[in-house]
């Protein structure tokens, strides 16, 4: 039984790392885990060139970039589109965070 637990933990760690190895996978994982399952699968992701250029110095300090979803999920409470995200690289992994209207 102890071997099964260790194996399960190893598998979960591998999956976690795999889901955060690229900006795209980290962003889709974030959208999926926030309850927008179909949007995570259907949306395309593009770099937000305008905001990346505008915030270049700050983003460099944070090791981050702005991304936009082309088919964003809609928040039920406000009916706002969840379109803009900042993705930061920490070590070898990427982490996404929703960042409001742009």
Asked if the model's pLDDT at residue 35 lies above 90, the reply is yes
Higher-confidence residue of 101 and 17: namely 17
49 has a pLDDT exceeding 80: yes
Tell me, what's the pLDDT at 5?
94
Note the Cα 90 to chain centre separation in Å: 13
What range defines the domain where residue 20 resides? Answer: 2-98
CB-based contact 75:35 (threshold 8 Å):
no
User: What is the number of structural domains in the chain?
Assistant: 1
Coil vs helix vs strand at 35? coil
Model confidence at 101, in pLDDT bands (50, 70, 90)?
A: low
Helix H or strand E segment including 30: helix 23-33
pLDDT at 78 over 90: no
Estimate to the nearest angstrom the gap between the alpha carbon of 77 and the chain centroid. 21
Q: Is the pLDDT of residue 102 over 80?
A: no
Nearest to 27 by CA among 89, 101, 80: 89
């Amino acid at each position: 039984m102890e071997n099964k637990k260790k194996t399960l933990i190893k598998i979960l760690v591998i999956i976690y790392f795999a889901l955060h190895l690229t900006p795209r996978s980290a962003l889709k994982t974030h959208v999926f885990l926030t309850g927008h399952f179909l949007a995570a699968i259907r949306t395309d992701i593009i770099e937000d060139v305008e905001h990346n250029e505008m915030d270049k110095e700050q983003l460099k300090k944070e090791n981050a970039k702005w991304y936009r979803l082309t088919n964003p999920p809609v928040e039920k409470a406000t009916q706002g589109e969840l379109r803009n995200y900042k993705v930061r690289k920490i070590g070898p992994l990427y982490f996404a965070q929703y960042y409001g209207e742009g």
